[in-house]
Amino acid sequence: MLAAENAALKGGKVGGMADVIRDLPGALAKQGVTAHIVMPDYGFLAREQQAEYMCEFPVHFDSGHFLMKLYRMPNPQQQGALIYLLAHQMFVSPGHAIYTQDAPGRPFATDAGKFALYCTAVATALCAGFIPMPARFHLHDWHCGFFAMLRHYVAEYHALQDVPVVLSIHNLAMQGIRPLRGDISSLEAWFPELLRLPQHQLNPVIDPRYPDCVNPLRAAITLSDAVHLVSPGYAEEVLQPSQHEQGFFGGEGLELDLQYIQRKGKLYGILNGCEYPEQPTTEQEREKTKRKLVSLANEALMYKLGFSETVHPSELIAQIRLFQQRRPKSFLMTSVGRLTDQKMLLLRQPWQGLIVLDGVLKRLKQWDEKARFWLLGSGDDAIARQFSEVAARHDNFLFINGYHEELSNALYQCGDLFMMPSSFEPCGISQMLALRDSQPCLVHGVGGLRDTVVDGKNGFTFSGDNLQEQAAELLNTLDRALSLYGSPPWQTMVKNAGGCRFDWQASAKRYVDELYGFA
């Protein structure tokens, strides 16, 4: 497996893909498959995991030779499996960051170069025998698209063609698009030999909307032997063209490629799984965690400040709200997620001169003065600023701009209603984790959310034909949920939520039988 993230390693997680890379290998092991993982070290993983140094080797990249260090360690989640870590200064970002937020005019500029080098290093290490050749390559998201290109186009790496390759798409919206030429972060800069190929040969990797750009995700889709979407619902949606102005996010320009793969019978929609403890959380444990919520929130704020050179207004506002609110003693609505338009677009829609998030908080307060909404998330600075402004307007809202594993787990455990109004959701792990802890979910009925949350059974779903309708339905559905809170149907919903099982074993069996069994 080639992946950018892995939640099995501390600091190796940004999004849901990391949870998959942590949990899937263990489930595959029970199906007789050993999954080794190769990922960048990001300047700290090998040191902090005390990984074993293997060797140093040159990588031909960007018209030069880059010296790459290779480490390996046992996978803590799967006996007999290894995690290989590739180290180079180009993979290092401030604050142990995995991804870089580039200026608006140059999206993916830093990360595309970083992952182009990573893919070249993986291909080189495999062909040189530093990493043993596997029975299958399993690529994850756009970061691995350059590996598919090298395998297909470059004679030096033709030995890789003997091994079938499959791709899992965790988020089709992130495609890593960069110019073909004329930039230090371009196909011409990284792999000048590719631009000497005839145009028709390069067509499968060129973006269909921007013909002067390379699209690594499209390359991974068109040059793989099978493609996997991480839920059946999302696998249907990506076959349709997106209509952003109507609030529909589908194939994002790649729907024709995906339709072609579907016609060939090589497109699979397999739901991600979730790990379940042997013993569910008891009410006593839940109460104990509730008493720690404020201290965990303070820890999350301190952790963020430890990596910052300046104090953001969101941290000050959060500190004030924590002091004012103390521990939530009434209804607690929770949300944990990246600050991106994928997750937060509907909360940012206009509403009575403000935004929908203001409407949520007003309705919550009208229903119960003591009710609270706690939101934990990091990502887009503009969204963080907007949510900080909302937190300054509403004393029933705590917004913590960052990510903190312990606090997120506590919010899953202690919340009464988990809100996840994603505009699109390939699978989603947050709703599964909330359900696992018996927290009903309020979700937009798209992708993996509609595959896991059933209205009136384990939560509440809403939909709409455009952004305005979706925003209005979000507020109406919140009203419906609040009106049911505490009633016998609500208690049944809580019980149903805790009883949901999205087991990795069932998904892993489909990986082996369908995704890996095509050849």
68 burial level (CB within 10 Å; 0-12, 13-18, 19+): buried
197 domain residue, yes or no: yes
| Residue range 171-183, pLDDT digits in tens | 999 999 999 999 9
pLDDT band at 453 (very low <50, low <70, confident <90, very high): very high
Whether residue 244 is found in the same domain as residue 350? no
Q: What is the DSSP letter of 248?
A: B
Mean pLDDT of 495-500: 96
| Residue range 325-371, pLDDT digits in tens | 777 789 999 999 989 999 999 999 999 999 999 999 999 999 999 99
- In this predicted structure, what is the pLDDT of residue 326? 75
Contact 252, 175 (CB under 8 A): yes
Whether residue 417 is found in the same domain as residue 292? yes
Range of the domain at 442: 283-501
Question: Which CB contacts under 8 angstroms, 24+ apart, belong to 18-23?
Answer: 19/272, 19/429, 20/140, 20/168, 20/170, 20/230, 20/272, 21/140, 22/77, 23/77, 23/273, 23/274, 23/275, 23/504
Whether residue 183 is found in the same domain as residue 293? no
For the chain, give the number of residues: 519
pLDDT above 80 (res 101): yes
Question: Going along 408-495, which residue ranges are E strands?
Answer: 417-420, 441-444, 459-462
* Range with the poorest average pLDDT among 131-135, 234-238, 311-315: 311-315
Whether residue 214 is found in the same domain as residue 264? yes
- In this predicted structure, what is the pLDDT of residue 518? 60
Number of other CB atoms surrounding residue 465 within 10 Å: 11
In sign, the C-alpha dihedral spanning 392, 397, 400, 401 is negative
51 domain residue, yes or no: no
Say how far apart CA 180 and CA 327 lie, in whole Å. 54
- In this predicted structure, what is the pLDDT of residue 44? 96
Q: What is the DSSP letter of 48?
A: H
Residue type, 504: W
253 domain residue, yes or no: yes
Whether residue 295 is found in the same domain as residue 443? yes
User: What 3-state class would DSSP assign to 397?
Assistant: strand
Residue type, 50: Q
Whether residue 187 is found in the same domain as residue 200? yes
Whether residue 165 is found in the same domain as residue 256? yes
In sign, the C-alpha dihedral spanning 38, 40, 44, 47 is positive
- Give how many domains the chain has, as a whole number: 2
Mean pLDDT of 80-92: 97
Say how far apart CA 411 and CA 73 lie, in whole Å. 32
Mean of per-residue pLDDT scores for the chain: 94
* CA contacts within 13 A on the Cβ side of 263: 6
Whether residue 210 is found in the same domain as residue 305? no
Whether residue 307 is found in the same domain as residue 174? no
Contact 372, 325 (CB under 8 A): yes
pLDDT band at 307 (very low <50, low <70, confident <90, very high): low
106 domain residue, yes or no: no
Number of other CB atoms surrounding residue 110 within 10 Å: 17
Contact 515, 270 (CB under 8 A): yes
414 domain residue, yes or no: yes
pLDDT band at 278 (very low <50, low <70, confident <90, very high): confident
86 domain residue, yes or no: no
Sheet containing 82-87: give its strands across: 37-40, 82-87, 64-74, 52-61
Mean pLDDT of 142-164: 97
pLDDT band at 519 (very low <50, low <70, confident <90, very high): very low
Whether residue 159 is found in the same domain as residue 291? no
491 burial level (CB within 10 Å; 0-12, 13-18, 19+): exposed
| Domain CATH code at residue 298 | 3.40.50.2000
Say how far apart CA 427 and CA 413 lie, in whole Å. 21
53 domain residue, yes or no: no
Whether residue 331 is found in the same domain as residue 389? yes
Say how far apart CA 225 and CA 204 lie, in whole Å. 14
Q: Which of 385, 389, 386, 390 is nearest to 373 (CA)?
A: 390
Q: Which of 158, 168, 146 is nearest to 225 (CA)?
A: 168
pLDDT band at 14 (very low <50, low <70, confident <90, very high): confident
> Tokens 């006593």 belong to which residue?
284
2 domain residue, yes or no: no
Whether residue 209 is found in the same domain as residue 150? yes
